Structure formats: structure tokens, C-alpha cells
Structure 1
Amino acid sequence: MPDHIRVLPATAMGLTGSVPGAYVRLLFDYLARQGADAAVILGEAPPPPEATPSSYPALRWAGMLAAAARQLHDPALGLHVGASITPAHLGPLGYVLLASQSVLAALQRYLRYQRLVHDVSPVRTYAAEDRLILEWSDESRHIGLLANQCGLAALVQFARDITDSDVDPVAIHFVEPAPADVAPYAELFRCPVLFGQKATRVCFPASLLELPLRRADPALVAMLERQVEASLAAMPGPDHLLQTVRRCISSHLLDGESMLDQVAQELHVSGRTLRRWLHARGWSFRNLLEDTRRRLAEHYLRDTQLSLPEVALLLGYSEQSAFNRAFLNWSGETPRRWRLAARQAV
């Protein structure tokens, strides 16, 4: 293998925990082909093509896949959804990769724009013996097997598509334990698939880099790459997932202390999954709940038209005294004194 591709650069992105809206559209399309009512199964309307969000929280995406897998009784649903991807599903980025001059150029662009493809964990690419290896960071284990199925299946299918070949990986590694039925994995990947590994990996033969692309077009790449750069710049920041959970918490504050299940249900995941995702980001649900309440309390206290009992009620406290104690613990002041100081500072 030439020296200039011995080690390819890792992406510089940070974990934001999101997937492109195109993946959600892909899932809706797949369910429609199965004769299933995706809107009922997923609990939401399909994203219109002209208004598809640039990304969906990965937690929500994992929940959608889980809901669909339960309905279709298909534990390998992620594989089937991912394998149905085409360059068109990724919009301008898909055509930029397809029109690159070589597999190496397409791979380098994939690394550069990975946040637009699968913004859950950083990926590094390196060579080992006669293999080209794409390896995801430890964060990949937090999104779940279905989402990892979809991501790896989509990558392999995309490689086959842009090279117009039946290229097969040398090996596939999943961090999750082996499922009861591994036949769908063997059928799709046509290579050894190992489970319980230290990292999520796709190992391609090094000869992949020598394959020509079926539609190289440097002029098209130059034109579309500007759109791809704009899409990347519009991606949400690193706290996107936490902000989504905060918004759900805010809408359920009147449900009381046992709101975790309601928030998890709104995100289409189990309470256990929600706890695990928050723990991976240094939060417990209770701590995030209290921090969200604190932020909202300061916002409400600046509104002088709201009485203190009304603020307490909006934050989900049955008594103002409970709110007073909580706010004193957060700020070292009573709500009344904090409001007075905030008013004087204006």
C-alpha cells in the first residue's frame, strides 16, 4: 500500500449524537415497502423532503429503529434499512462521494463530512497488513445494535454502489454481544462477522482503494461541495442531545418526579436506555432535571408578572416551600432575594 495512505486522518468532529434526516426518511421508505404504517409505528409523521431536519438526535433515531424492529419482529432491521441506502438518500454529499475521482478521495471526503452521515462517534481509518480499517470510538457502543447495524450496512452498501462492484469487507466487528440469529449478517456482509469486540469496525481489502468510481466528475464535485460545507456548518452543536432531553423535561414538569418514563417514551426509548445515554455524557436524569429546573426558575423569576407560587407550580412543585428550598440549594439565595437582585441589576 502506498505510503501516502498508510494513516488517514480521523475526523475532527466532537460527539453530538445525531443522524441525518435522510436516515429517518430511509426508515420511513423501508417501512412503506414492507406495507407498514410508519407514522403509526414511529409515532410521528414522515419528514417532508423539502423540510427534513438536517439531523435527528441519535437517541430518538435508536428509539425509532427499536419501535420498527418490534413491530416487524425483525431483530436485524437495521441491516435491512442500511442496505437500502443509495447516493440519492444523502443528497449533495452522496453525489459528491459518487463523483469523486477515486475511492481514496471519496474516503477522505467521507471522513471530512462524517457528521452528515453518522454523527455519533468519531471514526479513524488506518491500514493494517492488507486491510483498510474504519474504526469507531467507544461511543458507538452507546447507540445500540440496531443503529450500528444500519450504519455499517449503509457504509458497505455505499462502497458497493459507488464502485459498481460486489466488493466485500474482510471482516465486520460489533461491540455488542452476538444475537441469536447471525444469518442476516452473513448474508449481507459476506464475510466473518465478530461480536463482543473492543471497537466497531469495518475491515475492507486494501485493493478497494484501487477500484475506479463509476461516475467521476470533478466539476460536479466542486459545485456540490459548497452545499455540503453549508450543511456541515448548520449541524447542531455538541449539546444537541442534552437540549432535546431538556425540552422534553420542560414539557413534563407538571407530571411530577416520576417523569423519566414519560420523557423516555417521548424519545421512543426505554428508561434504562435514557439513563445509559445520559450517564455516558456525565449526567443522571435527576441531575439534569434539577439543572433544567434551575435554568427555568431563573427565566421565570425575571418575569415579574409571575408570582412565586406560580413559578413553583410551573416547575412542578406542589408547594412553594419545596421550591424555596430547592432554589436556596442551587443559588444560596431565596427566590425572592434572587428576583430582587436580578431586577436591580437591569
Structure 2
Amino acid sequence: MALSTSPTPSGAVPADYVRLLFHYLDRRGIAAPALLGEPAPAESAPPVSAAHWRRLLERAAAHLHDPALGLHVGSTITPADLGPLGYVLLSSASAASALERYVRYQRLVHDVSPVRHYLHDGALVLEWSEQSRTVGLLVNQCGMAALAAFTRRCTGASESDAASPLAVHFVEEAPHDMAPYAQTFGCPVLFGQSATRMLFSPAILGLPMRRADAALAAMLERQADAMLAALPRAAGADGALEQQVRRLLPAHVLQGDAALDAVAAALGTSARTLRRRLQQQGLHFRALLEDTRRQLAQGYLADRRLALAEVALLLGYSEQSAFNRAAMRWTGMTPRKWRAALLAACDADAPARTSAG
């Protein structure tokens, strides 16, 4: 299989997303690190450039002689592969609210080409920007297959339901073998189009999510603001910087983007400058991040609806073991024992609150 000659793409994709390829190769009995020339992205690894993601897919596709590899990799996606955002989408009240969140946070999933949605000729259209022309067919395959699979899994819908696309448009030239596309999407797939698109029936907007829980979804988004609103206001310019960082961190943790450079960019400065300014005040970014995660963890663990693995992901840990180690540092307890203690304290306090009421 020839490597792509399309322009070098800009943007990046999350490390969690890239791990899909490593897992796919592992399931095929292929030593992914040896084939791809690098280990799987580590926990909390920074995003991978779109150009590098394309090269990884091309290398694997050439080895497997599979020009439709992107379809096969993207189809394996689960909510966990989108990190915390996956659970925010999954707990949305309906596909309509999940779509709104997907568009709002799309850069966290695939920061390559912005997406917009509109109604046209009786169809709900998701359309990606002109940048989708630069990433190559394998990357677009993977992104479109992942969206189709994620939609079906999150709504619990079968291929005959409204969650299945009506049509899929690719900007690239048509491949020789169309069978993998028909199998993946179950609808007409057109090539040489003016934009990368996926069309759905508007009825999809009314579908409930498989784990619909509007209160949980709202809680995940409100948790950070509620926690930070309780912080006392710091006096002076130095205190203001710490408060600004603390106010930004919870949202970045939730979005899976709590690296120093991301927070610095949100403050309109460089990572180096932010680190220096914090150090001048005797502060360290890692310590502020750790404290934020600890406080968020306490709130999440007090909610019985969240599994421990989901709490780990919401805190930005891709592996449960990392959350276990963090909980031991913070409390000397495993997450399970910490949760039990928190719930016991809540239950003990409940009669007092009832009597007071």
C-alpha cells in the first residue's frame, strides 16, 4: 500500500484515541510497538499530531495489506476511548444533548478539522471543515467509523435504527473495494465529495442514550464550578494567579487536557512563563493539579452512580491502577475504601439533616 501524498495535516488527536490502533494490532497478534517503532502512548500522554497519527495508520495498513484499516480500527471504539468526554456523552439525556456536547468538545476527540451540523433536505448533516482534506483517507476512515460505532453503542441502537447514518461522504477518490464501507456504515458511501460528511435522520435527536442520566451529565460539568466557587478569593496579583489556575484546572481535568501548556494557553501565556510565575510564589503546577484531582475525586466517589473505573477516567487517568496509587497518596486508602468511608459519613449525616429540616 502506497503512503499518502496529501498535504501535511495540522492539529492533533488524543493519546487515548491513538491507543485504539495499538489495541487493534495486539488483538491481531501483532507486536504493535515493534511494527510502529514506538510504544503505546502512556497514561496522560500529550496529544499526537495528526501527521504522526496518519503515519502510524499508514505503516500498519501497509503491513496488513489493508487499505480499509481505518474503518476496522475506528469501529472498535468505546466510551472509555474518548476518556472523560465519552462518559459525559454517554450520560446525556438524549442524542440531541450528546450532539451538542460533541460539537462543543470535538477538539478533545479529534482536533484536526472543526465540525458543524445543520439540517438539509430532511437530513441532519455533520460536516467537517476543509482541513479534513489534508489528513488522508485512513484518518478520515477511522474518524467516521468511530463516530458511527460510538453513536450506535451509546444509544443501544441496531443498524436498522435511526442511529445508523443515511449516507457518508468522503472527499477522497473512491477505492477499488467498497465492501468494507458497506459493512461498516450500512448506507450509501460517496467519494469525491465537496466535504467530509455524515448524514442522519433527524429522528436520531430524539433517541435516548443507553445510559441516559441528565443529572449525572450536568453534575460532571457543574462539579468543577461548584468546587471552585467555594474557594476564598485571594488578595493581590499573586493570589489571583493561583486562583485563576485553580479555576481552570477542573474543566481541563474533565476534558482530559490538564497539561501545563494547555492551562497556560487558556491564560494567554506560555508554559515556561506560567511555571516561572508559580515558582516565584512557591507553587508548583503538578501540586495544584494533584489537589484539584483529589477534591474532584471526593465529589465523584460520593456519587453512587459512577463506577470506580469511570471516576478514574473523569480524573484523567486512563488506567485504574494510576487512580489507585493516587488515592493511596491522598488518603492512605484504596478508592473502594475511600468511597465506603465517604458514603458511610453521608449516610450517618442523613438523619441529622432530616431532623434539622
Common fold by TM > 0.5: yes
1:138 aligns with 2:134: no
Give the one of 184, 192, 199 matched to 2:195: 199
1:185 aligns with 2:181: yes
User: Paired residue for 1:218?
Assistant: 214
Deviations 1:274-303 (A, max 9, x none): xxxxxxxxxxxxxxxxxxxxxxxxxxxxxx
* Paired positions, count: 222
Which residue type is aligned with residue 34 of structure 1? R
Which gives a bigger RCO, structure 1 or 2 (Cα 8 Å, sep 6+)? 1
Q: Does structure 2 conserve the Cα–Cα contact (< 8 Å) formed by 1:122 and 1:137?
A: yes
User: Paired residue for 1:94?
Assistant: 86
User: Paired residue for 1:38?
Assistant: 32
Q: Distance in 2 between matches of 1:129 and 1:232?
A: 36
* Unmatched segments (≥5 aa) in structure 1: 1-14, 241-346
Q: Distance in 1 between matches of 2:36 and 2:44?
A: 16
Give the one of 146, 151, 154 matched to 2:146: 154
Change (3 A) 1:101 1:16: farther
The alpha-carbon deviation at position 224 of structure 1 amounts to: 3.2
Which residue type is aligned with residue 200 of structure 2? F
Change (3 A) 1:234 1:168: same
The alpha-carbon deviation at position 232 of structure 1 amounts to: 6.2
Q: Distance in 1 between matches of 2:174 and 2:198?
A: 16
Give the 3-state SS of the residue equivalent to 1:85 in structure 2.
coil
User: Paired residue for 1:294?
Assistant: none
Percent identity over paired residues: 57
Q: Distance in 1 between matches of 2:48 and 2:181?
A: 26
TM-score (norm: length of structure 1): 0.61
Q: Distance in 2 between matches of 1:127 and 1:219?
A: 28
Deviations 1:138-189 (A, max 9, x none): 1101000000000000001111011100232110000000011111001110
Structure 1 or 2, whichever has the larger Rg, is: 1
Give the 3-state SS of the residue equivalent to 2:117 in structure 1.
strand
User: RMSD of aligned C-alpha atoms?
Assistant: 1.9
The alpha-carbon deviation at position 53 of structure 1 amounts to: 1.6
Q: Does structure 2 conserve the Cα–Cα contact (< 8 Å) formed by 1:93 and 1:224?
A: no
The alpha-carbon deviation at position 123 of structure 1 amounts to: 0.8
Deviations 1:51-86 (A, max 9, x none): 242411000000000001011111000000000001
User: Paired residue for 2:171?
Assistant: 175
Q: Distance in 1 between matches of 2:149 and 2:52?
A: 24
* Unmatched segments (≥5 aa) in structure 2: 1-8, 225-249, 266-357
1:81 aligns with 2:77: no
TM-score (norm: length of structure 2): 0.59
